[in-house]
Amino acid sequence: MTYLTVPILVKSISQAKADIAQALSAHAEMLELRLDYLPNPTVEDVDEVVSAARKSSLLIIATCRPQNEGGRFKGPEEQRQLLLNHALKAGADYVDIELASLAYKPPDLTNKQSIISHHDFDKLPSNINDILKDIKKTKPAVAKIAYQPQRITECFPALDIIKENKNVISLAMGDLGIMTRLLAKKLGAFLTFASLSPGSESAPSQITIKDMKQLYRWDALDSKTKLYGVIGYPIAHSLSPTLHNAAFSEIGYNGLYLPFLVEPTWEEFKNFMDGILERKWLHLRGLSITIPHKVHALEYVLARHGGIGKLAQRIGSVNTLIFEENGRLSGFNTDYTGAMDAIMHSLDIKRTELSSLSTAVLGAGGVARALVAGLTDEGAEVTIYNRTAEKAQLLAQEFGCKWRALSDLKKLKHLDARVVINCTSIGMHPKVDETPLTASLLRDDMVVFDTVYNPLQTKLLLQAQATGAKTIDGMSMFINQAAAQFELFTGKPAPRSTLRRAVLG
């Protein structure tokens, strides 16, 4: 069993008792009492808080982390370890003590109830396996290693440690390390941590117990869970985990969908893909690809001699990767269908009617390629505007369009377009006050489509609505393409009503 453990930051006895009750209500499986959060902890404090925790019937870890190990305890080492020993006597099931502190070890500290830990809040230790060996020499009940990765590929050692060892806690901290927290149960780690609520984290980027249980379906995970996810940079804004995990739950599918923050270079993308595919025991079956990796995904499939769908070949980018059990890799593009269906439905027109509309496409990335391919197929007159003019020119030449630099929009007094489609990330959360167009270029006879879906109403759309223009938000496109992805992932019909509820409420 992998225990879902809630840290209780013991700032006062009354607050700790309330938090323990809340953790019990949230169905935590273990508590970690962070005694170092008390200003001047005494053995009497330890007695009272451990006694309160014991009434919950949950397993208890007592921790009093010193400042040099990322904690708050400022007193002498002898006092700190006296408090930990007293916690054991008061009924704690485990005590977490740092490997570096064992030189000061009081009697009976490293017994069957000991968790011997090492933390690095700056980096992945180059000698991480040697550190683990040193911890094991102390014969603890549980060995723990936590560190701060600098890139997502540095999370793999944490997963390897769990896979290759029993009775271990192995975590990569921060946004990059989310997958190590969630895959802990699949791989059989001793525990993983979940914060009680936002702001009560004991380490960077702990997920709340509510999200662990509801969003990421903790209780349904097991060793056979298939892995899916979305690769992007940035990725925190993505609603894809919410959408796909809800759909998995709806049809009873044993899958887990995670966000993967991969630096925006081909080398980082390739290294991540190589690393995750080498670990066949992760059971990776599918990936969504978003900004800025859609062309990288196409290149990766080609480099591994995988299959490319016809639309993906035509568009020149991939937003969906499928990994079959026999090792075959395939790439598809569902942006095309999602975008074109959103336009047709919103305007209540047939595709052939687009030929009469001049269209400005802002951006030259994967989504832009999909839309330009669809629009030019129907004979629309398209002008591509992009921050990097050379990229706009190349895309325009490929599809027989006009092109201009995105900065040229600032010089225009009139935009010669009836349809404006934003395919850039400008205006995406958290930079919601940005817009790719000045309001003066918008008119009431325009249709403005923003493919950004978070926020649903971008500044561009609000400006367009103020002029009386018809607007299309990115949610319809997002749900359409995600439904197509889901069916590629699972081979089952997408529960579209569930997808819509998951993102719109």
Query: Catalytic site residues?
Result: 119, 144, 294, 335
Q: What is the largest CA-CA distance in the chain?
A: 84
**H/E element holding 46?**
helix 43-54
Going along 99-221, which residue ranges are E strands?
A: 114-120, 142-147, 168-172, 191-193
Tokens standing for residue 491 = 């081979």
Strands 320-323 and 329-332 come out as: antiparallel
Strands 381-386 and 94-98 come out as: unpaired
Identity (one letter) of the amino acid at 260?
Answer: F
Beta bridge partners of 97: 116
Task: Indicate the SS3 state at residue 462.
Answer: helix
Question: DSSP assignment of 216-236, as one string?
Answer: S-GGG--TTPEEEEEEESS-T
Strands 284-289 and 320-323 come out as: antiparallel
Identity (one letter) of the amino acid at 336?
Answer: Y
Tokens standing for residue 329 = 């890799």
Question: Within 13 A of 310's CA, how many CA atoms are on the CB side?
Answer: 0
Tokens standing for residue 236 = 């925190």
The answer to whether 117 and 96 are in contact (CB under 8 A) is yes
Tracing tokens 């669809």 back to the chain, one arrives at 374
Tell me the CA end-to-end span of the chain in Å, nearest whole number.
33
Strands 142-147 and 168-172 come out as: parallel
Going along 1-136, which residue ranges are E strands?
A: 3-9, 30-34, 59-63, 94-98, 114-120
